[in-house]
Amino acid sequence: MPPSIRSLDAGPALRCIVFASDFSPASQAALPHAARLARVFGAFVYALYVIEIQPWEICPEVTLQSRIDATQLLDEVTRSKEWDGIRVQAALRHGSAVAQIIRFAQEHSADLIVTGAGSRHRLRHLLLGSVAEQLAQTAPCPVLTIRSDANPPATEEGGFRNIVLATGANAGAAAGISYAAKFSNRFGARLWIAHSLRPDGGGNDSERSWLSKLVPHREGVAPIFEIGTVEQVTVMLAQRESADLVMLAPGLGWLLPKLVQHLACPVMSVRYAIPMIRPKSFGAEIALNS
């Protein structure tokens, strides 16, 4: 079994990746991104599919046929040439997709979840509570989301060149900046830290001063302050700098649908490295990354 998850401060050691597939075009688009990251970090990959059986469908015949179909499709996923040289194992679960993906990630100490989102047209009608959005806000580890018509990995080696981090004046800023800085450094990528300012100017000076203290002083990392909403500033900066990855600091997972709608690059939500609430099938538990 892969080693236990490391905290954000330990750097971006991706040793276990959960590729959550639903066999859709979005999942097919996400697969190369999961494979390239697994290859870069030498990570073990679980290709996970959750059979969402409805209450009225719980009978031996339906369950058996669902498992047979899902097993065949998972076998096709794990036999993809994208996984050449990568350790990958199929996994099957029953129940709510979000709850089971989160539980599986906890049980296997996942360092990253990779999942797909609908096309840009479908995302215009994306409802709150989608699997990708819920994972972005509640998963116990970072979540990488790729839409069905997303750009392919930026380089053959699976690296990144320009990364934009969306952050704000909240408790998640320090954790997000720390993780993004180490992640970008791992790939030798430029990191742009996007922070939105108020049009009326109230509190902007103090926010600039506070956030600037969190930003590491090294070449290739730059805080960007612009007037507008966090969504507007992040999209503008990502498009201007041709970002091949956008990251969301802890607490900004709710932005995922908006950013995935406007940007063709992958979006990664960063999670806390401090005690946090991790949902289970019913209720919740408080856990600590170790």
- Given a cut of 70, is residue 46 above it in pLDDT? yes
- Name the least confident of 20-24, 64-68, 88-92, 211-215: 64-68
User: What's the predicted TM-score (pTM) here?
Assistant: 0.83
DSSP letters, 143-187, are EEEEETTPPPPSSTT---SEEEEEE-SSTTHHHHHHHHHHHHHHH
pLDDT score, position 133: 85
Torsions phi, psi for 93 (to 5 deg) = -135, 160
Torsions phi, psi for 104 (to 5 deg) = -65, -45
pLDDT digits (tens, 9 = 90+) for 60-96: 555 677 778 888 999 999 999 999 999 999 999 988 8
pLDDT score, position 13: 80
> Do the strands 16-20 and 112-117 form a parallel or antiparallel pair, or are they unpaired?
parallel
Sign of the dihedral through C-alpha 242, 169, 290, 105: negative
Q: Quickly state the pLDDT bin for 278 (edges 50, 70, 90).
A: very low
Mean pLDDT across the chain = 81
- Gap between the Cα atoms of 115 and 21, Å rounded: 6
- Name the least confident of 55-59, 213-217, 228-232, 246-250: 55-59
What angle do helix axes 204-214 and 173-187 make, rounded to 10 degrees?
50
pLDDT digits (tens, 9 = 90+) for 3-15: 333 444 445 689 9
DSSP assigned state of 111: S
% of the chain residues with pLDDT over 90: 48
pLDDT score, position 238: 96
Residues 32-54, mean pLDDT to the nearest whole number = 90
- Given a cut of 90, is residue 191 above it in pLDDT? yes
Q: Is 55 exposed, middle or buried (0-12, 13-18, 19+ CB in 10 A)?
A: exposed
Residues 118-127, mean pLDDT to the nearest whole number = 44
- Ramachandran region of residue 289, left (φ > 0), alpha (ψ -120 to 50) or beta? beta
Q: Is 117 helix (H, G, I), strand (E, B) or coil?
A: strand
Q: Quickly state the pLDDT bin for 127 (edges 50, 70, 90).
A: very low
Q: Quickly state the pLDDT bin for 148 (edges 50, 70, 90).
A: confident
